[in-house]
């Protein structure tokens, strides 16, 4: 029994060290191509006719160029290394045990008044702690951007992003994030960006579907979500799970469905598919209060882990299912 425990710990530590060396060797080349993005009108009945899912429509042709994408979501170990570098002054997300609110509630077990905690908001969730090989969650979009720049600098690559102040008039300025090419010039062409970055929404879906190896399955790698996705039906509210522990998709990518929702670069717009005119390496609308997340999460129902599902929280918002993975242009 002790040998099994020691072996399991050794495998977990070894796996963590492998993940921490997140370089080209840990990324998959996705050969570009043209595909139909969005939900097919003949989607199965269990998807439902929820109007909130109409942002998956209409299906439309999109062309993406070659790019590299990480096999795994960014892990706690990798993100911790980033925060410990103190490069951007970004700290680890708050552990759920440490989140409290500014008012008290009556404890349902003791009847005594106590401070309200995060778990009171999510009573079905078992308590969980950070684990090195789990996906990092609780990350806001801008911190994911900073992680990408940090990783680029660490690997001696030009950064993919810069923060820029925009004059809104009346002496009001807003700091926005823009992509930059190898020379630091602002660009909307992802093929000119050399550093690590977040995937565009079109790149993300293309990779989740399996790129040129796609077999037409509903989730990333299977029609059965239990084979490929950590959702509320497979985690039972026990928190995120070790990355790479389920079946990969056709490209060898893990957890594209479930585990952590993944931030994309694009602004979110509900009717973007119907209004977009640029179908070659699209990067979303030019402005919005929201950013795209993809893939579903460990505390969400399986149908939200389908490869076509979109959501768009506010850019400053996060919760304990929001993470990300990185890409690089070829």
Given CA atoms 252, 198, 200, 34 in this order, what sign does their dihedral have? negative
Based on the structure, what is the number of domains in the chain?
2
Residue 87 shares a structural domain with residue 200:
yes
Domain membership flag for residue 165: no
Domain membership flag for residue 180: no
Residue 199 shares a structural domain with residue 140:
yes
CA-based nearest residue to 38, from 324, 307, 288: 307
Domain membership flag for residue 90: yes
Residue 212 shares a structural domain with residue 134:
yes
CATH number of the domain bearing residue 57: 3.90.1580.10
Residue 77 shares a structural domain with residue 225:
yes
Separation between Cα atoms, residue 253 and residue 27, nearest integer Å: 9
- Per DSSP bridges, beta strands 33-37 and 27-30 are unpaired
Residue 106 shares a structural domain with residue 76:
no
Residue 265 shares a structural domain with residue 214:
yes
Q: Decide if 156 contacts 259 (C-beta within 8 A).
A: no
Among candidate residues 106, 127, 148, the one where a domain is terminated: 127
Separation between Cα atoms, residue 269 and residue 284, nearest integer Å: 8
CA atoms within 13 A on the CB side of 106: 2
Structural domain containing residue 100: 96-127
Residue 235 shares a structural domain with residue 107:
no
Residue 251 shares a structural domain with residue 108:
no
Within 8 A by CB and 6+ apart from 24, the residues are 68, 328
Q: Tens-of-pLDDT digits for all 330 residues of the chain? A: 445 444 444 545 444 444 445 555 699 999 999 999 999 877 776 676 666 788 999 999 999 999 999 999 999 999 999 999 988 889 999 876 666 667 788 888 888 888 887 677 777 666 777 889 999 999 999 999 999 999 999 999 999 999 988 876 777 777 899 999 999 999 999 999 999 999 999 999 999 999 999 999 999 999 999 999 999 999 887 889 999 999 999 999 999 999 999 999 999 999 999 999 899 999 999 889 999 999 999 999 999 999 999 999 999 999 889 999 999 999
Residue 83 shares a structural domain with residue 30:
yes
């Amino acid at each position: 029994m002790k040998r099994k425990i020691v072996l399991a710990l050794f495998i977990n530590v070894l796996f963590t060290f492998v993940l921490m060396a997140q370089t080209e060797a840990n990324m998959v080349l996705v050969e570009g191509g043209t595909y139909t993005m969005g939900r097919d009108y003949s989607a199965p009945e269990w998807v439902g006719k929820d109007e909130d899912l109409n942002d998956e429509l209409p299906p439309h042709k999109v062309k993406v160029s070659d790019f590299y994408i990480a096999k795994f979501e960014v892990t706690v170990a990798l993100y911790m290394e980033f925060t410990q570098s103190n490069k951007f002054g970004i700290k680890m997300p708050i552990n759920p045990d440490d989140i409290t609110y500014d008012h008290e509630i009556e404890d349902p077990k003791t009847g005594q008044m106590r401070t309200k905690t995060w778990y009171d908001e999510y009573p079905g969730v078992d308590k969980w702690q950070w684990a090195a090989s789990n996906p990092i969650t609780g990350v806001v979009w801008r911190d994911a951007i900073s992680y990408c720049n940090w990783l680029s600098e660490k690997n001696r690559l030009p950064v993919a992003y810069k923060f820029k102040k925009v004059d809104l008039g009346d002496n009001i300025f807003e700091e926005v994030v823009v992509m930059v090419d190898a020379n630091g010039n602002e660009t909307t062409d992802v093929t000119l960006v050399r550093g690590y970055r977040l995937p565009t929404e079109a790149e993300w879906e293309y990779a989740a579907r399996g790129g040129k190896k796609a077999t037409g399955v509903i989730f990333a790698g299977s029609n059965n979500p239990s084979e490929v996705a950590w959702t509320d039906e497979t985690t039972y509210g026990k928190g995120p799970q070790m990355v790479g522990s389920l079946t990969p998709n056709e490209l060898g990518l893990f957890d594209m469905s479930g585990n952590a929702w993944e931030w994309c670069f694009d602004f979110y717009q509900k009717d973007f598919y119907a209004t977009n005119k640029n179908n070659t390496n699209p990067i979303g609308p030019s402005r919005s209060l929201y950013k795209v997340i993809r893939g579903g999460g460990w505390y969400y129902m399986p149908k939200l882990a389908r490869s076509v599902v979109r959501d768009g929280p506010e850019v400053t918002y996060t919760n304990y299912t929001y993470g990300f993975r990185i890409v690089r242009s070829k």
